[in-house]
């Protein structure tokens, strides 16, 4: 299952955080990108400790700004 957490650019809009997707398959949970505001949206669906892995395509403030809040990103 794919859950889009946000799809705006580097500046999130009301009700639309920056890029972020949650992919769930066969009990595995993968977070793709984690832009500004996407972490808050993630919390509507899953607890941070339920995420198995985080993939960031590149590093700058938009796709990685909330990454340190996710245990899979730092552990």
> What pTM was estimated for this model as a whole?
0.73
pLDDT, one tens digit per residue, over 13-56 is 788 888 899 999 999 999 998 888 889 999 999 999 999 999 98
CA separation (Å) from 60 to 10, 12, 19? 9, 15, 12
d(CA 53, CA 15): 25
Sign of CA dihedral 30, 34, 38, 40: positive
């Amino acid at each position: 299952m794919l859950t889009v957490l946000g799809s705006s650019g580097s500046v999130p809009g009301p009700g639309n955080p920056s890029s972020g997707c949650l992919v769930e398959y066969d009990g595995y949970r993968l977070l793709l990108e984690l832009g500004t505001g996407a972490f808050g949206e993630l919390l509507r669906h899953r607890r941070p400790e339920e995420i198995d892995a985080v993939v960031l395509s590149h590093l700058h403030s938009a796709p990685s700004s909330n990454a340190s809040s996710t245990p899979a990103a730092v552990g």
